[in-house]
Amino acid sequence: MSSNVLTAIKNISDFKIDNIRKYFKEYAKSQINTDREQIAYYVRDAISGSFNSAKDKKPMERYDETFSYLGNKNKLPDMILKHGDALVIKTIKTIKGSLTISNTPPKDRLNWNDPWIAKNCRMVDGGQWNSKDIFYVTGWIERGKLKYLYFVQGRCFASEEKFYTKKIEGIKKNIYNYLASEGLEANNTIGLAKVGNMDPLGRTSLRIKNIWKIQNPIKAFSDVYTYDRKQDFTVIALMLKSKFDSFPNKDIDAIKSNKQITSKDVRIKDPNDPAKKLDAKLITTSW
């Protein structure tokens, strides 16, 4: 089975269900309540071709065929396609609200040696991988209806890891220097700092956490796409042209030949060098 972001877009366009509450009641038959979980299941079904799964295979059978990883509650990513891409699901409360990435910087790729991913995530695909392309999938639900889904490749969205790591290490160094000047000792942590004995009796501890945010792709890429709020539902995908071209020809042809879906070449700013432009592919469908 060939499953990827392109098949997800085609399946969503064919299915044409944006009422997330109706979807879970009539199709998914799930009691999931949070926006993020609902969007994650919707995307999972879109990629695996599990819409109307009662007429085909049971959803879990399709999931087993499609995914090598279905996430960890507290760590990214939310899913990994077998020998394929990783996906991270994000939700917003307002149309252009920022995305909270939490305790890890945004990623241009998912790396095997990333300290923030779970051990069983490293074991997917036999553990024989160094890095994977990653897509951030942003969803917005308004009054029970899914208004838009935005798939954006990490390479288009985030800078290389080294840009964030250098700044984090600089911040940590200053924090540790201050703690040392106060006679406090920081415990080892992959976060910014974890300190015990903050009061004379040693009853209080302090944990300094990373809370990362990144611009909503609607705002970040407003120069290449303007979101039309009048549409009931819109799906947008942005990826490097080289990534688009790497997908199976049948999936590329299915996108290009579908009159409901628009695809075009665009130029976007390189997250690693604003003076440079990257060749990218913008795919949209709406109703």
pLDDT tens digits along 55-69: 555 667 889 999 999
Say whether both 26 and 97 belong to one domain: yes
Query: Per-residue pLDDT averaged across 11-32, rounded?
Result: 83
Q: What is the 3-state secondary structure (H, E, C) of 29-52?
A: CCCCCCHHHHHHHHHHHHHHCCCC
Say whether both 107 and 194 belong to one domain: no
- Say whether the peptide bond before residue 77 is cis (omega within 30 degrees of 0): yes
Say whether both 149 and 169 belong to one domain: no
pLDDT tier at 204, thresholds 50, 70, 90: very high
pLDDT tens digits along 163-174: 999 999 999 999
In the prediction, which pLDDT does 96 show? 77
pLDDT tier at 9, thresholds 50, 70, 90: very high
Say whether both 198 and 278 belong to one domain: no
Q: Is the pTM of this model over 0.85?
A: yes
In the prediction, which pLDDT does 142 show? 92
Query: Per-residue pLDDT averaged across 11-26, rounded?
Result: 88
pLDDT tier at 29, thresholds 50, 70, 90: low
Say whether both 52 and 113 belong to one domain: yes
Query: Per-residue pLDDT averaged across 243-260, rounded?
Result: 97
* Better-predicted residue by pLDDT, 30 or 26: 26
pLDDT tier at 139, thresholds 50, 70, 90: very high
- Closest to 40 in 3D by CA, of 83, 3, 77: 77
Say whether both 226 and 88 belong to one domain: yes
Say whether both 244 and 195 belong to one domain: no
Residue 228 pLDDT > 80: yes
Domain boundary (151, 174, 208) is at 208
pLDDT tier at 1, thresholds 50, 70, 90: very low
CB contact at 8 A, 76 and 117:
yes
Say whether both 189 and 257 belong to one domain: no
Alpha carbon distances (Å) from 198 to 31, 109, 129, 187, 204: 44, 38, 43, 12, 5
Most confident among 55-69, 103-117, 198-212, 263-277 (mean pLDDT): 263-277
DSSP designation for 148: E
In the prediction, which pLDDT does 53 show? 62
What is the rounded average pLDDT for all residues in the chain?
92
Domain boundary (181, 208, 235) is at 208
pLDDT tier at 30, thresholds 50, 70, 90: low
How many domains is the chain partitioned into structurally? 2
Say whether both 57 and 129 belong to one domain: yes
- B/e letters for 246-261, b = 16+ CB within 10 Å, e = fewer, are ebeeebbebbeeeeeb
CB contact at 8 A, 137 and 90:
yes
pLDDT tier at 32, thresholds 50, 70, 90: confident
In the prediction, which pLDDT does 94 show? 86
Say whether both 144 and 70 belong to one domain: yes
Expressed as residue numbers, the domain containing 200 is 165-208
Domain boundary (145, 174, 208) is at 208
Say whether both 171 and 277 belong to one domain: no
Query: Per-residue pLDDT averaged across 266-276, rounded?
Result: 97
**Alpha carbons 66 and 114: distance in angstroms, whole number:** 24
Query: Per-residue pLDDT averaged across 222-246, rounded?
Result: 97
Residue 50 pLDDT > 90: no
